[in-house]
Structure 1
């Protein structure tokens, strides 16, 4: 498959996706601020996260089957349009007056359906456009764009929520989606055609093939398993960052913005390291090490004195760097180990495998915050994540991933 002029193609994709990521980051942070201040409830934050994740987890594997059959460029365009339409509906739900949280959860769930198609399709296009020895660099740039959006997004979101009602702030996300769609119209993405029937039986067979692609690669399925276990602890804690900032470190909107921004700075550093320098370390080693580093930052954040907010912010930045390097390395391993015509299914299965167990933790997030405290939740999740990193290093099949492949020269 010809992969000439891939840089020019990706520049268009990156331009649109960056604006979309930036506006989404701003809106997501504005919504978190609004929910945190309006309700001051870990339970409501958890239910919001569940609404945003559960549909994606349930339909994700089936969406992956169709992503592998359909034109992935069109999948991304229609998914972005659907998400923007759902956001437009939410502008009417979040008008001043009585807020019906049930409707908010419903629309967030519908947005999640769009994400079930968009996120795997976005990851699955890279091997169609990019030479294999450049995949880690592209993943690094993707992480940089995400991190820059997480630096500027919260600042934009905090300014927007201070200046406008929450329903008006949502229009930022709609504008970002329109620009992302426009950028995709100017690029050509190869279409991997498959001649299969659309019967339910064939869908199940295709889904089974995607599962077998993971299951038969022993090292890859162990990596998936450890990532799932880590997410069980990480996801409930991730939604508690605003509460830890407010309750434990006695912060407010400004401190919440600082935490989000330094997390983005950390991700920017991680992505920059991967995209700018020669990387001779095997990607599986980076994945395992970042598990341990992220766990370390959680544990120390949980035991810090309330007057050490600055140290907490630094640790958050270190955690952002760990997550950036982990994500880029993890995604690149999948892109290298799985055939291009299977990537939609495999990425969808991974997102579902990662999300479903974490929902268990989210369901109990309110009880965790009330009964053991947010700080203790950080300590427990950090220990779990650190031990998973140690276990990964002690798993021979996982450590064998990529051992006989030449490393990327960046």
Structure 2
């Protein structure tokens, strides 16, 4: 290949990437708008109803479309034109938002309307996400994937930190009806940038999956059986998976009831909620940076058990914090959630190092099935239990169970044998 051809290829590549970054910017703006509106919706539901059951249902309705429509989103991303599908699902979300604004305006505002809207938003976001991922994989050269992922993750984290503050600022001078316009405005910006970005679907680049086509065709029971058999072959791996699933289930009350805890228990404002949300996101980023800087970790099993225990101790302290002490809550929230990315990274590292590549799909299928049951079950139970025994008692109780389960699984099983794997 001569130098002229090289220059031509580089110019084409730069032009293609330039168009993609234009589209990417629009998507990030749209994501910011969606997160602002989600914060506003959650806070308004908390303030109006002050009912943990409603928050529980809300979290359930956010998650359940991912379970129902998640597999369909991958098929759509593979089969149809990227741009058209992005416009369709983003546009439908904007239309749903506009209809909600109109219904509120004519006096039809009610709880069912809000909950239905939350479900519809989550459905369109579930269908939209994999298509954007597929488009990036079809556009970004392999040599630039790491750089792209770093930039993409950085800006996503910045958005997740900014959205609560901007949502709180918005609610300080606007009602929910006015706040909903942010979704439509940011969609319009993203739509405009997409239209002027002449990106086309590359049919040779399909969205990747953790499962091979052979794995997808297998029945759920067969996947479960094969995944369980593989786990039994590797001493300590069953215990590692168990700690992850149980801790995620027991974290559901905290994820569900945090707005209720801030507003009802501590008489906090939307700015208090925003401050704690920003602190928690900063903790997650900090933990991720630590994991990125340190290449090797010894005693992975001990780290899994230890970070799980420290996480639940932190949540118990949050639940028992002095009433109205938002600074204390923020500090403890940072210290507690700092351990989540460490725990998650260690889990992924253990899975990748201990499971042969040809068996990875079946194990991930098993893990996803168990998580798909545990997570929504945790969300839907959190509200009624908090209503029955109190939010603070539920958070303390779930934290105690989390600590006990980590200790029992960690020291009564074969978890330490996982450290011997190279």
TM surpasses 0.5: yes
Residues 247-303 of structure 1, C-alpha deviations (whole Å, 9 max, x = no match): 33332233222212211222232333345x243237966665543332121111122
Greater Cα offset, 314-323 or 223-232: 223-232
CA apart distance, 1:154: 1.0
Structure 2 equivalent of residue 26 of structure 1: 36
* Structure with greater contact order relative to length (CA < 8 Å, sep ≥ 6): 1
CA apart distance, 1:165: 2.7
Structure 2 equivalent of residue 191 of structure 1: 205
Identify if the C-alpha distance between structure 1 residues 53 and 188 changes in structure 2 by more than 3 Å, giving closer, same or farther: same
CA apart distance, 1:313: 1.1
CA distance in 2, matches of 1:126, 1:393: 40
Identify if the C-alpha distance between structure 1 residues 368 and 206 changes in structure 2 by more than 3 Å, giving closer, same or farther: same
Identify if the C-alpha distance between structure 1 residues 396 and 16 changes in structure 2 by more than 3 Å, giving closer, same or farther: farther
Unaligned runs of 5+ in 2: 1-9, 209-213
Equivalent residues of 1:267, 1:321 under 8 A apart: yes
Identify if the C-alpha distance between structure 1 residues 262 and 242 changes in structure 2 by more than 3 Å, giving closer, same or farther: same
- How do residues 159-178 of structure 1 correspond to structure 2 at under 5 angstroms? 159-177=169-187
CA distance in 2, matches of 1:272, 1:295: 22
Structure 1 equivalent of residue 50 of structure 2: 40
Greater Cα offset, 348-357 or 142-151: 348-357
CA distance in 1, matches of 2:91, 2:81: 14
Identify if the C-alpha distance between structure 1 residues 236 and 147 changes in structure 2 by more than 3 Å, giving closer, same or farther: same
CA distance in 2, matches of 1:251, 1:31: 16
Structure 1 equivalent of residue 66 of structure 2: 56
1:280 aligns with 2:283: no
- How do residues 131-210 of structure 1 correspond to structure 2 at under 5 angstroms? 144-177=154-187, 182=193, 186=199, 191-192=205-206, 205=217, 208=220
- How do residues 1-400 of structure 1 correspond to structure 2 at under 5 angstroms? 15-60=25-70, 62-63=71-72, 66=75, 69-70=78-79, 78-95=88-105, 97-119=107-129, 144-177=154-187, 182=193, 186=199, 191-192=205-206, 205=217, 208=220, 215=228, 217-218=230-231, 225-275=242-292, 277-281=293-297, 289-306=306-323, 308-327=325-344, 353-390=370-407, 393=410, 396=414, 400=418
CA distance in 2, matches of 1:265, 1:193: 30
Equivalent residues of 2:74, 2:130 under 8 A apart: no
SS of aligned partner of 1:191:
coil
The count of residues paired between Structure 1 and Structure 2 equals: 389
Q: CA RMSD in A?
A: 4.7
Equivalent residues of 2:386, 2:394 under 8 A apart: yes
Residues 192-211 of structure 1, C-alpha deviations (whole Å, 9 max, x = no match): 399xxxxxxx9972565876
CA apart distance, 1:243: 1.7
Unaligned runs of 5+ in 1: 195-201, 405-410
TM-score for the superposition, normalised by structure 2: 0.71
CA distance in 2, matches of 1:403, 1:127: 32
Structure 1 equivalent of residue 3 of structure 2: none
Identify if the C-alpha distance between structure 1 residues 141 and 293 changes in structure 2 by more than 3 Å, giving closer, same or farther: farther
CA apart distance, 1:34: 1.0
Identify if the C-alpha distance between structure 1 residues 159 and 283 changes in structure 2 by more than 3 Å, giving closer, same or farther: farther
Equivalent residues of 2:137, 2:205 under 8 A apart: no
CA apart distance, 1:35: 1.0
CA apart distance, 1:117: 3.2
Residues 95-141 of structure 1, C-alpha deviations (whole Å, 9 max, x = no match): 37342322322232222323433455667888886879987x97776
CA apart distance, 1:364: 3.5
Identify if the C-alpha distance between structure 1 residues 26 and 122 changes in structure 2 by more than 3 Å, giving closer, same or farther: same
Equivalent residues of 2:97, 2:183 under 8 A apart: yes
CA apart distance, 1:153: 0.7
Identify if the C-alpha distance between structure 1 residues 158 and 36 changes in structure 2 by more than 3 Å, giving closer, same or farther: same
CA distance in 1, matches of 2:67, 2:287: 27
Equivalent residues of 2:133, 2:207 under 8 A apart: no
SS of aligned partner of 1:104:
helix
CA apart distance, 1:338: 9.3
CA distance in 2, matches of 1:319, 1:141: 26
Identify if the C-alpha distance between structure 1 residues 250 and 236 changes in structure 2 by more than 3 Å, giving closer, same or farther: same
Structure 2 equivalent of residue 408 of structure 1: none
Structure 2 equivalent of residue 198 of structure 1: none
CA distance in 2, matches of 1:323, 1:64: 28
